[in-house]
Amino acid sequence: MNDAYTRDSRLFIGISPQTTSYIRCRSSIKRCLTYRDFKRFEEILIWAKQEAISPGLRRVLKTFKGYLPYIKNTFIYHHFTNGTLEGINNAIKALKRNTYGYRNFSHFRNRILLMCKLYVLYTVPSTSLVA
């Protein structure tokens, strides 16, 4: 676990074995997330089992182990976010605040579709009349 530490972290290294292990673990996990290194992340979880760490950090690492398949997905599919969905939800909430309610749900739904550009435009094929 030879990671670069911040200036503040270097001040606390050596105070106690728990503090040193905590700082090493924290900076290693941060580095794994930055460089998307899942194998190293798993190694840190195994390494932390043998270290003298605080009960709180041990609980956090146990939670990480429980969610390991999902964490792996975030390492692999890091470019997927829920930002678009959050934006749509925010727009719907703003619409509800500003309109004071719609009497007809279909009008409300259509307004959301128009506002968020979720509608599908289609054209009716025109048939030429032959005389």
Same-domain status, 52 and 111: no
pLDDT mean over 66-91: 91
Confidence band of 49 (pLDDT split at 50, 70, 90): confident
66 and 42 both lie in a single domain: yes
Q: pLDDT band at 81, cuts 50/70/90?
A: confident
Round to whole Å and give the CA distance between 107 and 29: 49
**In terms of domains, do 43 and 61 share one?**
yes
* Domain identity same for 24 and 63: yes
Q: Indicate whether 65 and 91 sit together in one domain.
A: no
> Looking at the domain assignment, is residue 131 inside a domain?
no
pTM above 0.75, yes or no: no
> For the chain, what is the domain count?
2
- 3-17, 55-69, 72-86: the lowest-pLDDT one: 3-17
Spell out the alpha helix ranges (H) of the chain.
7-12, 17-35, 38-50, 55-66, 68-76, 83-99, 105-115
Asked whether residue 26 falls in the same domain as residue 63, the answer is yes
